Structure 1
Amino acid sequence: MIINNNKADKVEPMFKSLSQKTKASYFLILAMAFIYFSSGSMLLYLPKFFVHLGSTKQEAGFLVALSVIPFVLLSILSGHLANKFGSWRLVLLGNILHFSAALLFITVDEVSPLVYLLRIMQGIGHVCVFTPLFTSVARIVPDNFKAQGIGYFTIAIQFGTASGSFLGELAINNLGYTKFFLIVAFMNTLCALASGYLRGSEDETHAGTANSLGEPNGTKWLLVFGGMTLILVLGGVFGTLLQFIPVYFDEMLTSGVIAEAIPGRAFLTSGLITVACIRLLGGKYSDGKHKGVIVAVCNIGLLVVLYLITYIDSITTSLLVSIMFGGFYGLLYPMTNAYVLTKVGAKVRGAVTGSLTMLFEIGFRGYALVAGIVAHHLGFEWMFYSMVVFYAVGALFYYLTILVSSRRDFEDVVTDEDQTVFEEGMVVDKE
């Protein structure tokens, strides 16, 4: 029985410990993530374009959600293919699909079946780019720096999303939709060209821990499922807050609960900035020997924050709660992903990466539907209470898997020791 906790004895600087080749590959992935998600966040203005073409708001909403279907259906396959054949091929294909869709949108003058086809193309393109890039990070970053590597990767995504959302509105208002789509296509071209350089990193693989997934050990499967469950509930909490906080603040104002309006950015912007800052400044501690304690504190803190949201009554309290949320969530997401990926073998790491992105997306989109029903029938306060229960159940299952796994490890060690004593006794008897 091999037990490998894979804990760092001290906090080490990630970039100083990576080889020059690995470092170059990693920075290339960060640059690609920044550019790709800049172009992707520009597409957040597609509903405005659809309404401009004459669609209803309901139809525009459906068109936005349509691209999620390929992502959910193909994420695991995308990760598996990236792991087997190399990420660069899928990244190239995905950006070609995005490039083609952007150019074809220029020819659209009404909401026709072509628009639905283009949205599906964009959904397939997204699953061909995001999951393989994530798989590349999981492949080239050593296990003892996995949380940091994922954390910095998500920072690149966040900065790309922020810059793209700003650039998109600027392009539409000043240049029009044709040049808007040309800019998107240009960004996809840059990513497609960069994917060729990504090919050089395909041989850099840092294997998972001993007795990892892919080998006949049920304990590791259990730990992986626990981590995946936590990713699912994290996605549900994060997505629901992003989508419902502005509506919640408006509801409080119109119902007279608060006298002064609280802008949504007082929670969302400050929270997202905190997420980026905590990953940038505190990322090196997420792979240290106290990472288990950090995860426990963040899990408890997140539950408290979800409850405290119901006490927000001003811009000040909104800022305080959002900063708390950003701090706890900011570390939990990369650390939980790293926890799962360090429990799996190299052969299945791509498929597991795809599963992680799929589960987060299901939580992000799916629980918002449940939360909306609760808010409609019982009110927003009960919606947040339901989120506390939802997250608590996921966190409890996560810790239950760790408890059961630890017990199995102990029993295996005891069994091995008993077998050794028995064998030694047999030798003595023979003598």
Structure 2
Amino acid sequence: MKSIIADKDGAVPEGGVQETASRWALLGLALSMLLPFLGVSSANVALPTLIEVFSASFGQVQWVVLSYLLTITIVIVNAGRLGDLLGHKRVLLGGIMLFTAASILCSVAPTLPVLIAARALQGLGGAVLMALTVALVRDAVPEERTGSAMGLLGSMSAIGTALGPSLGGLLIAGPGWRGIFLVMVPLGILAFLLVRRYLPEDASREAAKRKAFDLWGTLFLGLTLAAYALALTAGGEDFDRVRPILILMSLICGGLFLLVEARASAPLIRLAAFRDVELSAGLMMTALVSTVMMATLIVGPFYLSRGLGLEEMMVGAVMSVGPGVSVLCGVPAGRVVDRLGASATVMIGLVVMAAGVVALIVLPPIGGVAGYIAAIALLAPGYQLFQAANNTSVMAGVPQERRGVVSGLLSLSRNLGFITGASVMGALFTFASARAGISASGPEVATIGMKVAFIAAAGLIAMAIILSIGSRVLSKLDWRSGPPDDATRRDR
């Protein structure tokens, strides 16, 4: 980026000032993206400690993680819509404040119920951060650098995922489990100051404020997502008995949500927006790809320990390769988007991911740990290419007053993919391993389960490639029939 250099009269060129402000604004957004992912990954490592500290069962302490994830999933679209109504910058600042205050509350929680409640509040703030950072990229940087900015945000999410376990372990060994939450406070304060000082104000805030908030749509969407997420994530005999009821409730509430949105004068989600094939395909591809990436996090540790016989420390080291590669590839992936365009880069990313999934099926049984690492090192750059390009593509045609809700939908698609991947792909691995266990030994059982899971993952990537090709073809056909009018743009 350009540096600020005063001219001969001592004045600072306007371009240099804008460039510096853009840099600091992007740093504020990057920290805003880091915090919620750090909140997910760092708390996981504290669960064994929390069992001892609060004399609780695993089923009880897992709600420290579940309350955070469920809150994010349930409210993320509403957080984006709130940004559309009240101003993206204003709501983001409120989200950072809430996340930071909730982190303090987590660090001083005297009992497990208080900690779980504080984590839900932290998840509420995290939903705002996830929804609005992507929505604000186009306000922070020039259009020609949007891809690079999206790549940076992808790197920050990967850093949060990779850094959380190691940082959490160090803090637990040092100041204790409370330090896991307290360390987020100075990061939150810095993000708040940078966003407040350097991010420009919303141009369309006054117009957006006059629109109504869709209360019934918000209620039914929240119930739909809560029931679905609980059905797939919560464990234990109690939830096993009510799981079918939760799935049925999700379907019923989802139907009521669609009915309400079709009749609402100011709907939370404009159903007409899904006529845009690029938007619909982008959201569906995000869910499919996220399901595949979660499969690596769920199936990978079991295969490495049971199939390859690695000890826990080595499993952790190998599992850190994927996030580590993602961190390094995020910004270069964004630059590829700026150079080649979003549509072409989406396809490149999906093809690289397909090669990585096939490599996961073929290489580990042949090359052991080295084969697994090589496959993951191929899959991770493909994911970063896809993520930077797809985010750029989805947000490119969205008007200012709808960026928050569309960004929220993008984050929701990713989260639902993660939840589905954790449940379905994990169950598929377990089922295939159990069937193989009838006639195979321990390592062979894990290998068969891994192959079946990633064959399914390859099918999901193939579906994403078909969606990408189909959306490009249909978009060209739509364009030949005439450019979209203003009403269509507003619907999106």
Query: What is the TM-score of this pair, normalised by structure 1?
Result: 0.78
Aligned to 1:383: 453
What is the root-mean-square deviation in Å for CA atoms of aligned residues? 3.3
Q: Per the alignment, in what secondary structure is the counterpart of residue 175 of structure 1? A: coil
Render the CA deviation track for 1:47-69: whole Å, top value 9, x for unaligned.
Answer: 23431222222333343122222
Aligned to 1:63: 64
Q: Which runs of 5+ in 1 are unaligned?
A: 1-14, 206-213, 414-431
Alignment check: 8 A CA contact 1:79 1:131 kept: yes
Aligned to 2:355: 304
Could you say if the C-alpha distance between residues 286 and 204 of structure 1 is closer, same or farther in structure 2, counting changes exceeding 3 Å? Answer: farther
Could you say if the C-alpha distance between residues 174 and 81 of structure 1 is closer, same or farther in structure 2, counting changes exceeding 3 Å? Answer: same
| Structure 1 range deviating more: 118-127 or 389-398 | 389-398
In 1, distance between residues paired with 2:130 and 2:282?
20
Aligned to 1:9: none
Could you say if the C-alpha distance between residues 362 and 198 of structure 1 is closer, same or farther in structure 2, counting changes exceeding 3 Å? Answer: farther
In 1, distance between residues paired with 2:60 and 2:157?
28
Alignment check: 8 A CA contact 2:149 2:331 kept: no
Could you say if the C-alpha distance between residues 160 and 204 of structure 1 is closer, same or farther in structure 2, counting changes exceeding 3 Å? Answer: farther
In 1, distance between residues paired with 2:146 and 2:357?
28
The aligned runs of 1:109-258 (5 Å cut-off) are 109-112=110-113, 114-197=114-197, 200-203=200-203, 221-253=276-308
Deviation at 1:127, TM superposition (A): 0.8
Is 2:470 aligned against 1:404?
no
Deviation at 1:385, TM superposition (A): 1.1
Could you say if the C-alpha distance between residues 19 and 175 of structure 1 is closer, same or farther in structure 2, counting changes exceeding 3 Å? Answer: closer
Render the CA deviation track for 1:110-158: whole Å, top value 9, x for unaligned.
Answer: 433x333222212112112222222211433344332211101222333
In 2, distance between residues paired with 1:103 and 1:356?
29
Render the CA deviation track for 1:19-62: whole Å, top value 9, x for unaligned.
Answer: 44333322332244446655664334342343122222233334
Aligned to 2:211: none
Could you say if the C-alpha distance between residues 189 and 283 of structure 1 is closer, same or farther in structure 2, counting changes exceeding 3 Å? Answer: closer
What amino acid maps onto 1:350 in structure 2? Answer: G
Render the CA deviation track for 1:372-426: whole Å, top value 9, x for unaligned.
Answer: 221121233211111111222233123212212212322448xxxxxxxxxxxxx
Aligned to 1:317: 371
Alignment check: 8 A CA contact 1:47 1:60 kept: yes
Alignment check: 8 A CA contact 1:235 1:364 kept: yes
Q: Per the alignment, in what secondary structure is the counterpart of residue 176 of structure 1? A: coil
Alignment check: 8 A CA contact 1:83 1:350 kept: yes
What amino acid maps onto 1:55 in structure 2? Answer: A
In 2, distance between residues paired with 1:18 and 1:106?
38
What amino acid maps onto 1:300 in structure 2? Answer: V
Could you say if the C-alpha distance between residues 31 and 187 of structure 1 is closer, same or farther in structure 2, counting changes exceeding 3 Å? Answer: closer
Render the CA deviation track for 1:183-231: whole Å, top value 9, x for unaligned.
Answer: 33343344344443255454499xxxxxxxx999979711110111111
Alignment check: 8 A CA contact 2:357 2:454 kept: yes
In 2, distance between residues paired with 1:320 and 1:85?
47
In 1, distance between residues paired with 2:460 and 2:292?
9
Could you say if the C-alpha distance between residues 16 and 151 of structure 1 is closer, same or farther in structure 2, counting changes exceeding 3 Å? Answer: farther
Q: Per the alignment, in what secondary structure is the counterpart of residue 397 of structure 2? A: coil
RCO higher in structure (CA 8 A, sep ≥6): 1
Alignment check: 8 A CA contact 1:249 1:262 kept: no
Could you say if the C-alpha distance between residues 399 and 97 of structure 1 is closer, same or farther in structure 2, counting changes exceeding 3 Å? Answer: same
Q: Per the alignment, in what secondary structure is the counterpart of residue 56 of structure 2? A: coil
Alignment check: 8 A CA contact 2:75 2:127 kept: yes
Deviation at 1:305, TM superposition (A): 1.8
Aligned to 1:374: 428
Could you say if the C-alpha distance between residues 279 and 409 of structure 1 is closer, same or farther in structure 2, counting changes exceeding 3 Å? Answer: same
Render the CA deviation track for 1:346-392: whole Å, top value 9, x for unaligned.
Answer: 22111110100111011012222111221121233211111111222
What amino acid maps onto 1:308 in structure 2? Answer: A
Render the CA deviation track for 1:163-189: whole Å, top value 9, x for unaligned.
Answer: 454333222211123445433334334
Could you say if the C-alpha distance between residues 377 and 412 of structure 1 is closer, same or farther in structure 2, counting changes exceeding 3 Å? Answer: same
What is the aligned-residue identity percentage? 17
Alignment check: 8 A CA contact 2:357 2:458 kept: yes
Alignment check: 8 A CA contact 2:155 2:329 kept: no
Could you say if the C-alpha distance between residues 305 and 200 of structure 1 is closer, same or farther in structure 2, counting changes exceeding 3 Å? Answer: closer
Aligned to 1:394: 464
Q: Which of 312, 318, 332 is matched with 2:386 structurally? A: 332
Alignment check: 8 A CA contact 1:22 1:201 kept: no
Alignment check: 8 A CA contact 1:375 1:382 kept: yes
In 1, distance between residues paired with 2:129 and 2:306?
38
Could you say if the C-alpha distance between residues 267 and 173 of structure 1 is closer, same or farther in structure 2, counting changes exceeding 3 Å? Answer: closer
What amino acid maps onto 2:282 in structure 1? Answer: G
Could you say if the C-alpha distance between residues 18 and 222 of structure 1 is closer, same or farther in structure 2, counting changes exceeding 3 Å? Answer: farther
Alignment check: 8 A CA contact 1:143 1:342 kept: no
How many aligned residue pairs are there?
386
